[in-house]
Amino acid sequence: MTYEITGLPNPVHYIRDFKRFQEILSVLVRHGFGHLVMELKHSDSALGRLISSFRFAGLDEGKTSLITVAERIRLVFQDLGPTFIKLGQILSTRPDLASDEIMIELQHLQDNVPAFAFPEARNLIEVELGKKLEDAFASFDVTPLGTASIGQVYAAQLHQGTDVVIKVQRPGVRSLIESDISLMLMVARQLENRIPELRAIDPVGIIEQFQRAVSRELDYTNEMRNARRFKAAFEENPRVVVPAAYPEFSTRLVFTMQRIRGVRITESASLGIDPRKLADVAIDSVLTMVFEHGFFHADPHPGNIYALEGGKIAFLDLGMVGHLDEGLRFRLADLIVALVENDIDAAARALQAMGIHDEPINRALFNVNVSEIMHKIIGIPISEICLSEIIQDLFNGARRHKIKIPPDCYLMGKALLTVESVARNLNPDMNIETAITPHLKRLMIMRNTPARVGKLLWRRLSEAADIMGDLPEQASEILALMQHSKLTLRVETVEHGSTMMQVERLIGKIIAAIIVAALVLSSAMFITFSKIDYLIMGVPAQLVLGVAGYLVAALLGVHMVRQVIRQTDRS
């Protein structure tokens, strides 16, 4: 049943399920959040009038006062089912969106949902694959291996004899989640209007981020692509196994992959494998994902890392992944090097470069806060430091200064924290510096290769050329505006002649600076890419000409600096 609600911030909102909306509000009241419901109820809107028509059971204040707010939030999410459980699980990995207390509590959320009947699963598989179950699989175990809020997993065998597992999406879960998210957005907008203090938390933004994340997770083709990409990335690593995906038996609602037989990495001793060696493989694999591939498993907990015969590990459940572009990886490397070297200024610069800030930053105060966090590790051997925990603390500190760290950086911090905890559990003597140093060195070498530097210089030169190329057209537009008396200039000056002289000098300096920059860039490009088979006094011609360009640029630069100094002295 659909109900139209008007009078909200956006023109029209829909409550797709009247009973579901009432259920959500009832659960909030039951767990001690009746004051939020009352805020909505007393709002002067159609939503407030709708809530006024509901009847809620009385709130047992004595019962809710015995548990914390974080525990009550977890109970709300638990009682409301798949959408809210998934939201809670995502919030438990996002220190930028939830407090430490709430994050820890939400990590205890469980998918306590009953399995749906096999005939429903069979029907969905046959509709999605377009063939009978017997035609697709040689055998199929009707008892699910596992059940979760979004779907459940079955074991089967392909006709060629390969053992596989099949994820089948829970019937109706997509429409339920879409309905719940529309309700969340509606309530979040209304709460922001009624309680201005909530705007700093940005509940609407949180729900919209969640909407994007869960939409990707509901489409199993995303997980299939992730699995294939991870498998290609670790193809040449004999210690890491990624289950093969089978696109011909996969759709948006059904995902078929190779079955991995092993045990949780924390139970590796049962296979007679040295857990310390597996700790090294696990931490090295995740560091490789982060620093070299820029594409990482966002939830590498023990249930998602299996130990296999022969001392190998396998990564499972690739639905939640994170991405770091090249620039973020370089900044992360700078941050870690600064932490290892206890360089507070360098750490603050790297941290600021990783984020986005709309307002000016109080650098002195920011550096003090970074210093306070880093003082926790000064004098402590790096082998005893939980590096990922310090990184998370720094990210949280940046957030307090209105620096917006990209969400995937938080995912990366949580992934490193999780795998570091797993590795230390397997090997208490693990040295994180020994594990991470080779990855940082490779990243730094890649950062400074002549090919990459040349490519970067070429890109900047191309951008400068584009700007110069646009100047004539822009100048023509300005002249056209002047001809039609449509260009307005506001000049506030007393000494017109003096001002014009200053403008002329400034233009001259800008032109000279452009010439110097062009000489530096072209000389670098000439040295890097030019292939002239000619020697000048035994030295390659491109090197001589490139150095000559640098010298001319240096002389011009010195001349410009002297002029600036003279002008400053006169002033």
The owner of tokens 């800008």 is 510
41 within 8 A of 33, measured Cβ to Cβ:
no
Q: How many CB atoms lie within 10 A of CB 538?
A: 5
Nearest Cα to 24, choosing from 193, 202, 187?
A: 187
* Residue found under tokens 């002067």: 44
Q: From CA 398, how far away is CA 180, in angstroms rounded?
A: 32
Residue 343 is among the residues annotated as catalytic for this protein: no
Six-digit token string for 456: 């970067």
CA distance 155 to 141: 6
Q: Residue 418: name the closest of 509, 285, 548 by CA.
A: 285
DSSP annotation of 532 reads -
Nearest to 59 by CA among 87, 86, 90, 29: 29
Which position among 299, 317, 334, 408 bears the catalytic label?
299
Q: CA-CA distance, 5 to 45, in Å (whole number)? A: 9
Name the residue type at position 380: I
User: What's at 480, amino acid-wise?
Assistant: A
Kindly report the number of other CB atoms within 10 A of residue 353's CB atom. 14
Strand partners of residue 306 = 264, 314
Structure tokens at 7: 């009078």
Q: What is the rounded distance in angstroms from the CA atom of residue 143 to the CA atom of residue 208?
A: 36
Residues designated catalytic: 299
